[in-house]
């Protein structure tokens, strides 16, 4: 009986990572799911997924997780670098230590995870590294300086790594989701408000928060991103990039079609319109409650 391919998913305690782990399991993978909040992965345990504590900013944690897989399975076929989060706020107002923490997770955590699994993949002369980036690695997001910078870095790192690993039979794939129907946008919006407070970027922060909440309302189901990851993991010759969801495809197309100035103008107008839309919704709800 052939051994099932082995996959490791980081940041699997919620959202996209949680769905990716489930979809890979359904498609025949022996899945290991890692995250700091192990208790939130009980539902994954229930369907036969191996859950483990994994902090991508902790070298010892990474080494322990990869070593366990090596001992248990003797191989690793797919690494899905999904762990990450979004830091939003004006460059002038975000403390440098928070910016460094953003890169520690989104870029250096990803690179360390990849670095630790490569000896296993080189040994078997095959493997696939799937990096979950974002359309924010292609287009600007209002007050998304450090988040966007981290995703642009993931894009560049992935392209270079693909060339670096080709001789070993290891492929590198990038997934570029847009907004998803999750709590991510609301969390980012609350963070914007706390950073801006009553400073010079208060109005822009309100527009950016409204923009994030509005696009999330029309975002893709995390399952759609998960299906793209499964395609990348199972295709004989995968694409170098997958852009799941209509909204994400529209953003990438708009970036290709419009000049920088035109794209800037479109994003700024969307921010203003989103704030008006969110404000009118609040007023409408307040009126309904009063009645």
Active site amino acids: 13, 133, 147, 151
Q: CA–CA distance from 82 to each of 33, 58, 68 (Å)?
A: 11, 16, 19
Helix/strand/coil for 236: coil
Q: CA–CA distance from 291 to each of 66, 283, 284, 287 (Å)?
A: 59, 12, 11, 6
Distance (Å, rounded) from C-alpha 174 to C-alpha 17? 15
Please report which residue ranges of the chain form alpha helices under DSSP H: 15-26, 42-46, 59-73, 96-103, 110-124, 145-165, 184-196, 202-217, 222-234, 246-257, 260-290
Using N-to-C axis directions, what is the helix angle for 202-217 and 184-196, rounded to 10°?
180
The DSSP 8-state label assigned to residue 240 in this structure reads S
Distance (Å, rounded) from C-alpha 223 to C-alpha 70? 29
By CB atoms closer than 10 A (0-12, 13-18, 19+), residue 70 is middle
Distance (Å, rounded) from C-alpha 175 to C-alpha 229? 7
């Amino acid at each position: 009986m052939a051994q099932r391919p082995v996959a490791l998913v980081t940041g699997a305690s919620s959202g996209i990572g949680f769905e990716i782990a489930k979809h890979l399991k359904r498609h025949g993978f022996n899945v290991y799911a890692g995250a700091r909040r192990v208790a939130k992965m009980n539902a994954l345990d229930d369907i036969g997924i191996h859950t483990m504590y994994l902090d991508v900013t902790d070298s010892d944690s990474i080494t322990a997780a990869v070593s366990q897989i090596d001992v248990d399975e003797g191989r690793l076929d797919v690494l899905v670098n999904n762990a990450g989060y979004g830091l939003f706020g004006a460059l002038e107002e975000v403390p440098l230590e928070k910016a460094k923490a953003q890169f520690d997770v989104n870029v250096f955590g990803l690179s360390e995870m990849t670095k630790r699994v490569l000896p296993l993949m080189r040994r078997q002369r095959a493997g696939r590294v799937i990096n979950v980036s974002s359309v924010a690695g292609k287009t600007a997001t209002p007050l998304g300086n450090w988040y966007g910078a981290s995703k642009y870095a993931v894009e560049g790192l992935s392209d270079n790594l693909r060339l670096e690993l080709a001789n070993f039979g290891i492929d590198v794939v990038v997934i570029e989701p847009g907004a998803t129907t999750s709590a991510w946008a609301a969390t980012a919006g609350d963070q914007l408000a706390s950073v801006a407070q009553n400073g010079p970027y208060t109005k822009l922060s309100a527009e950016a928060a409204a923009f994030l909440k509005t696009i999330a309302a029309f975002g893709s189901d995390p399952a759609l991103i998960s299906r793209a990851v499964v395609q990348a993991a199972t295709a004989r010759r995968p694409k170098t990039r997958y852009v799941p969801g209509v909204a994400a495809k529209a953003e990438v197309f708009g970036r290709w079609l419009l000049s920088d100035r035109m794209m800037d103008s479109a994003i700024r107008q969307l921010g203003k319109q989103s704030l008006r839309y969110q404000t009118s919704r609040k007023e409408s709800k307040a009126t309904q409650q009063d009645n």
